[in-house]
């Protein structure tokens, strides 16, 4: 029954019932503002109950206020059709076989023009329809693992994803693509970096910053870049493949443990922090920027380590943080805390007793820096040394989110603080590095003549 009145409630719903019309009715409305003719569209649940939404013959939508409506007459009924057509994805024996796992983010989609609903395209046939260039690169097969929003990705999903990737590798796939919403892509990228080790093939994570239903979307190009990376690159690591500059020029392959989403809406939001990216990627070429990566192999060996302890917290320190923040975590039975400290890795003195209590409770405490760039240096000031005495362990230049994921992964394997410490401080794949290269920190400031000149010539 509710389906007849999708999204309508209160006054608007009563009105629809009163005049015996429903969603998709083609109606003529007489109102004190004039007459309107169109099809009643579903209404967003979050909008008020004071308006009906009509799609006019011109394609525009308008809202009519319920209080102004004197009469509604149904002239017809036209229900929207949500089907997405498929075209068979062409197979050619000489092209590499690539597996695309879906997690819920839309990398390709079709729009329902009547409702504006975005219908995700996911099956190979659907993707081929949306991005036919894919067939020039690889043979694609797909599997939808879950349909969750990026922010709802968590340990359960990480584990399933890791196992599924392992199975595909054992079957001899040539490369793997993981479609993912962008908000937490870097969390999943680091989880996979730890859970899928020694992969013989590239594992490429990809998403889009601008919805794939728009002509200017980055989705198609990202997908093409990721297919190229999975097919032809010899970088057998977990990577994130997203726009380099905001222009449609090239993508960057970022190491899964050093990448972070750095802008809420820019296309070029993903950046390698404290290091340089692995490679540049275009439609047909990979240009490595470094050579210290794991090379592609022809075997099918891989280590899948799907462990995760959920009772781990990431605490973003701020001046005047109260000790009860930590006490609460102790009380709730947390096993690990990653702190994103100020500067070189600090918190204020009033927290010290709480840190001691945490240590006594057996909680593993690791320090990262909220500056994102740079190392934790706890020997520089006494405060740092004090903290280390209280059991806080510095994590070099591991990014806070990465440290959080790694601690969860480590505690998922063992409770032994020494073993956890070993795991945490032994780099799996670049989450800590021996040093930071001079060009690992490049955040340009606009306005400076040489920067302006650079921006005018090259694309940011």
Partner 1 sequence: MYKKLNHDENKKKTRKRIGYVPLKEGTPKLYKGLGFKCGLEVHQQLKTEKKLFCRCPAGKYQEGEDYDAEIVRHMRPTLSELGEYDGTALMEFKTKKNITYRIKNETACTYEVDDTPPFPLNEEALDISIKIAQLLKTSIVGELHITRKQYLDGSIPTGFQRTAIVGIEGKIPLKGKDIGIIQLSIEEDSCREVSDIKHNRIYTTDRLGMPLIEAVTYPHMITPSEAEEAAHYIRFLTRSTGNVRTGIGAAREDVNVSITGGTRVEIKGVSHIKWIPALTHNEAFRQKALLEIKNILKERIKNIEEWDIANIVLNSKELKNVKNSLQDKIESGYRFMGVKLPGFREILSFFTQPGKVFASELSERLKVIACLESPNIAHSEEDSPLIDKEYFDILGEKLDCGDNDALAIIWGPQEDIETALETIRERCLLAFRGVPNETRKSVNKDGITIFERVLPGPDRMYPDTDSAPIAIKDEKINRIGKNLPSEISFREKKMRSWNIPEDTFTYIHIRNLFPLLERSIKDLNYPPTFIGTLLGHQLKNLEGKITPSSEFDFNKIYGLLEFCEKEGYEKLLVKQMLPVLYQYPNMDPESILTTIDFKKKEKEEIISLFPLLNKKFAEISQRQNKNGKKLWIMGRLQPIATGNISLKDLSEIVEGGLK
Question: Could you list the residues that contact partner 1 (CB under 8 A)?
Answer: 31, 33-36, 46-48, 50-51, 53, 56, 58-65, 68, 84-85, 110-113, 115-116, 118, 129-130, 209-211, 213-217, 220-221, 246-249, 263-267, 446, 452, 455-456, 459-460
Report the nearest approach of partner 1 to the CB of residue 63 (Å): 2
Report the nearest approach of partner 1 to the CB of residue 233 (Å): 23
Pick between residue 110 and residue 258 the one whose CB is nearest to partner 1: 110
Report the nearest approach of partner 1 to the CB of residue 413 (Å): 41
Pick between residue 2 and residue 216 the one whose CB is nearest to partner 1: 216
DSSP codes of every residue in 404-419: HHHHHHHHTT---HHH
* C-alpha span between 169 and 384 (Å, rounded): 44
Per-residue CA distances from 107 to 135, 156, 205, 256 (Å): 16, 22, 11, 19
In sequence order, what are the beta bridge partners of 399? none
Q: Tokens representing 384?
A: 């740092």
The HSE-up count of residue 225 (CA atoms within 13 Å, CB side) is: 30
Cα dihedral across residues 177, 182, 188, 190: positive or negative: positive
Report the nearest approach of partner 1 to the CB of residue 75 (Å): 16
Residues tagged active-site? 106, 182-183, 261
- Going by C-alpha positions, the residue among 293, 280, 157 that lies closest to residue 238 is 293
In the numeric block, the tokens 């490679």 are attached to 279
* C-alpha span between 337 and 393 (Å, rounded): 10
CA 101 to chain centre: 14
Q: By CB neighbour count within 10 A (0-12 exposed, 13-18 middle, 19+ buried), where does 457 fall? A: exposed
Pick between residue 18 and residue 33 the one whose CB is nearest to partner 1: 33
Q: By CB neighbour count within 10 A (0-12 exposed, 13-18 middle, 19+ buried), where does 19 fall? A: middle
Pick between residue 266 and residue 352 the one whose CB is nearest to partner 1: 266
1 Cβ contact list (under 8 Å, min separation 6): none
* C-alpha span between 407 and 401 (Å, rounded): 10
Pick between residue 43 and residue 255 the one whose CB is nearest to partner 1: 43
Report the nearest approach of partner 1 to the CB of residue 156 (Å): 29
Report the nearest approach of partner 1 to the CB of residue 181 (Å): 15
* C-alpha span between 336 and 395 (Å, rounded): 14
Pick between residue 29 and residue 100 the one whose CB is nearest to partner 1: 29
């Amino acid at each position: 029954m509710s389906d007849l009145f999708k999204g309508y409630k209160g006054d608007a719903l009563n009105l629809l019932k009163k005049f015996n019309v429903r969603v998709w009715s083609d109606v003529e409305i007489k109102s004190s503002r004039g007459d309107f003719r169109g099809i009643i569209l579903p209404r967003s649940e979050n909008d008020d109950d004071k308006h009906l939404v009509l799609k006019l013959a011109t394609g525009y939508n308008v809202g009519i206020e319920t209080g102004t409506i004197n009469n509604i007459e149904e002239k017809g009924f036209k229900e929207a059709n949500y089907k997405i057509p498929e075209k068979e994805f062409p197979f050619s024996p000489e092209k590499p076989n690539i597996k695309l796992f879906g997690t819920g983010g839309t990398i390709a989609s079709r729009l329902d023009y009547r409702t504006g609903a975005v219908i995700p395209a996911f099956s190979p046939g659907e993707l081929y329809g949306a991005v036919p260039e894919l067939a020039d690169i690889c043979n694609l097969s797909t599997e939808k693992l879950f349909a969750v929003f990026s922010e709802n990705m968590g340990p359960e999903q990480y584990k399933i994803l890791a196992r599924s990737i392992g199975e595909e590798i054992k079957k001899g796939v040539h490369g793997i693509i993981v479609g993912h919403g962008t908000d937490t892509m870097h969390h999943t990228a680091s989880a996979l970096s730890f859970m899928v080790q020694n992969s013989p093939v590239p594992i490429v994570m990809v998403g889009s910053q601008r919805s794939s239903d728009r002509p200017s979307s980055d989705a198609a190009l990202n997908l093409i870049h990721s297919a190229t990376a999975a097919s032809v690159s010899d970088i057998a690591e977990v990577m994130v493949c997203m726009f380099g500059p905001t222009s449609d020029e090239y993508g960057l392959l970022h190491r899964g443990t050093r990448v972070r989403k750095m802008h809420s809406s820019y296309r070029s939001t993903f950046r390698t922090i404290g290091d340089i990216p692995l490679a540049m990627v275009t439609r047909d070429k990979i240009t490595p920027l470094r050579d210290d990566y794991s090379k592609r192999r022809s075997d099918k060996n891989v280590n899948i380590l799907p462990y995760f302890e959920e009772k781990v917290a990431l605490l973003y320190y701020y001046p005047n943080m109260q000790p009860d923040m930590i006490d609460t975590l102790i009380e709730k039975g947390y096993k690990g805390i990653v702190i994103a400290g100020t500067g070189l890795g600090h918190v204020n003195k009033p927290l010290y007793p709480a840190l001691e209590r945490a240590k006594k409770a057996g909680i593993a405490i690791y320090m990262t820096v909220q500056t994102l760039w740079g190392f934790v240096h706890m020997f520089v000031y006494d405060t740092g040394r004090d903290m280390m005495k209280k059991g806080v362990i510095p994590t070099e230049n591991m990014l806070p989110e990465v440290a959080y994921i790694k601690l969860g992964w480590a505690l998922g394997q063992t409770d032994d603080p020494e073993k956890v410490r070993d795991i945490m401080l032994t780099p799996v794949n670049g989450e800590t590095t021996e040093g930071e290269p001079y060009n690992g920190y490049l955040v340009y400031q606009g306005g400076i003549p040489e920067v302006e000149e650079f921006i005018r010539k090259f694309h940011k």
